[in-house]
Amino acid sequence: MGSMNSLTISQAHQKLKAKEISAVELTQSCIDRIESIDDSLNAVVYRNFERALEKAKKIDAVGTFDHPLTGIPYLAKDVYCEKDVPTTACSNILRNKDYIPPFESTTTSRLMDVGAISLGKVNTDEFTMGGSTETSCYGVTRNPWNRDCVAGGSSGGSAAAVAADECLFALGTDTGGSIRQPSAFCNCTGLRTTYGRNSRYGVMSMASSLDTIGCLTKTVEDTAIVLSAIAGKDPLDATTGDVPVPDYAAALTGTIQGKKIGMPKEYFMDGMSEEVKQSVLDATEVLKSLGAEIIDVSLPHTAYATPCYYILCPSEVSSNMARYDGIRFGHMPEEERGKRKEESLIEYYHLVRTEGFGDEVKRRIMIGTYALSAGYYDAYYRQAQKVRTLIKNDFDDVYQTVDAVISPVTPSAAFRVGAHEGDPVAMYLEDIFLDPQVMAGIPALSVPCGFTKDSMPLGLQIMGPQWGEETVLQIAHAYEQATEWHTKKPAL
């Protein structure tokens, strides 16, 4: 405690600027932390320490810390391509030959431009498919608050690393809750942005119409700082919107007097944990005391979002995973080496993909292939896209009367490793509060809001309208400033 690696971005920035600490010292403190505790967490899957220290030295030599991210060490989920840095999506299909991207993702490139320092890669479910990092080829990431429990997923490595102070912030991706759920499980702040707010270029795709780029941080202010640096239109990603990027940190006024905040009754269902329910009810009292008005609202198609997700996502997965055919990149099957010419191309594809993909990826490819096949397309994919419209309309209606909507992040706190083994649907239901925002393409943030009696963290979800990150951050910041949950750290 009290060491440099436990600083927030804004605290570290002040110290760097005042020359109280150097970028090398800050980077080294994160490296030391990773080396001393990560064996028990398994959050970091690639350590790029030498390059990080070289970069830090150069930054210290220049010595100007004008941007709040200059000299700030971070970790990236193992789906962000960094030029010349092994990036594997935690999948055997890329691991065996250690795929080394010849290009840089827009997000890591923008971070590099302002002087942030990449320390390496963190664990994820294979190609981000999962809610626990249990499908990673490197094994599960443990929850820093209780190592018998998962850190969540798919950005579980990111969340555990931030919670354990192995870095100052981490990059994650959120397709169906993969930033918000691990943030809630590990007591971090995690933002899923509006679809199209951040460039997906250079980030390995899972479901292209749903994938979003975001960060996990120790405070809401830090989220605002990172978002301001990475957001905005990118000619390399045609789905990014040409919408101006505000100075998000300037939105953090601390005042939410008169804000109208909706409470959707569909998110408080039978059978959910009483502690989760109570933590959100307690949060509404805090928001009211800050001058916000809490209004009961209804999002009637909420229950259809997860079934909708598990048609659209696997369908897009089956298409995106087709590129892993062992031709342009990836893995050469063991039995193929040396006798390639005798095999047919089709057999080669089978061998590469059979060895390279894990069970969850295979399940999704198969569900997607089935849902998109002739005779089933209208009943599955097209119907899901229509239901998606209804879910989106629900939010459009509600945002006519409220500024934001709040809910729990998950129906319960972090579950035990192996709890959902052999039951994919039980794992999918972990996302039940996190898929509606995905269908609507709106921003949503998880902020710490309490603990269970077993001392496991809980998260409050704050959702905004499309492009409404400022409102979400403003409300989250005011709530965070009025509470102390985000300051609690796991004993490691």
Partner 1 sequence: MTTLSTDDVRHIAKLCRLNLSEEQLEKFPTELSAILSFVDKLQEVDTSNVQPTPQSTGLTNVFRDDEVVSDGPTTTELLATSPLPIIDNQIQTPSAHG
Instruction: Find the binder of partner 1 among 14, 349, 412, 489 (CB under 8 A).
Output: 349
Please report how many Cα atoms fall inside a 13 Å half-sphere around the Cα of residue 375, on the Cβ side: 1
Q: Does 196 bind partner 1 (CB under 8 A)?
A: yes
State which H helix or E strand residue 278 sits in: helix 274-289
Nearer CB in complex with partner 1: 73/441: 441
Residues 431-460 contacting partner 1, CB under 8 A: 439-441
Q: Does 318 bind partner 1 (CB under 8 A)?
A: yes
Stretch that binds partner 1, among 16-24, 130-138, 165-173, 235-243 (CB under 8 A): 235-243
Instruction: Find the binder of partner 1 among 62, 238, 250, 281 (CB under 8 A).
Output: 238
Instruction: Find the binder of partner 1 among 348, 411, 481, 488 (CB under 8 A).
Output: 348
Minimum CB distance to partner 1, residue 177 (Å): 16
Which two structure tokens, joined as six digits, stand for 9? 């971005």
Q: Of 70, 78, 163, which Cα lies nearest the Cα of 110? A: 70
Residues 103-132 contacting partner 1, CB under 8 A: 103
Which two structure tokens, joined as six digits, stand for 383? 């119907």
Instruction: Find the binder of partner 1 among 284, 319, 385, 452 (CB under 8 A).
Output: 385
Which candidate in 22, 109, 136, 154 is catalytic? 154
- 171: phi then psi, degrees, rounded to nearest 5: -90, 140
Longest dimension (CA), the chain: 74
Q: Tell me if residue 489 is catalytic.
A: no
Q: Tell me if residue 154 is catalytic.
A: yes
* Inter-residue contact 409 to 433 (CB < 8 Å): yes
* Backbone dihedral region for residue 241 (phi beyond 0: left; psi -120 to 50: alpha; all else: beta): beta
Residues 198-217 contacting partner 1, CB under 8 A: 209
Tokens 């601390």 belong to which residue?
254
Instruction: Find the binder of partner 1 among 169, 304, 415, 433 (CB under 8 A).
Output: 304
Residues 387-416 contacting partner 1, CB under 8 A: 387-390, 392
User: What are 294's strand-pairing partners?
Assistant: 261
Q: CA of 176: how far to CAs of 1, 72, 320, 463, in Å? A: 34, 28, 16, 14
Which candidate in 22, 55, 77, 205 is catalytic? 77
Nearer CB in complex with partner 1: 62/426: 426
CA distance 72 to 114: 10
Burial class (CB in 10 A: 0-12, 13-18, 19+), 402: buried
Q: Of 249, 187, 255, 253, which Cα lies nearest the Cα of 223? A: 249
Which candidate in 22, 91, 132, 178 is catalytic? 178
Burial class (CB in 10 A: 0-12, 13-18, 19+), 301: buried
Residues 16-75 contacting partner 1, CB under 8 A: none
Instruction: Find the binder of partner 1 among 47, 51, 97, 488 (CB under 8 A).
Output: 97
Stretch that binds partner 1, among 45-53, 256-264, 301-309, 405-413 (CB under 8 A): 301-309
Minimum CB distance to partner 1, residue 361 (Å): 10
Minimum CB distance to partner 1, residue 216 (Å): 23
CA distance 453 to 282: 15
Cis bond before residue 154 (omega within 30° of 0): yes
Q: Does 325 bind partner 1 (CB under 8 A)?
A: yes
Q: Does 375 bind partner 1 (CB under 8 A)?
A: no
Stretch that binds partner 1, among 47-55, 117-125, 132-140, 342-350 (CB under 8 A): 342-350
Instruction: Find the binder of partner 1 among 127, 357, 433, 485 (CB under 8 A).
Output: 357
Stretch that binds partner 1, among 157-165, 183-191, 222-230, 325-333 (CB under 8 A): 325-333
Q: Tell me if residue 77 is catalytic.
A: yes
Task: State the catalytic residues.
Answer: 77, 154, 178
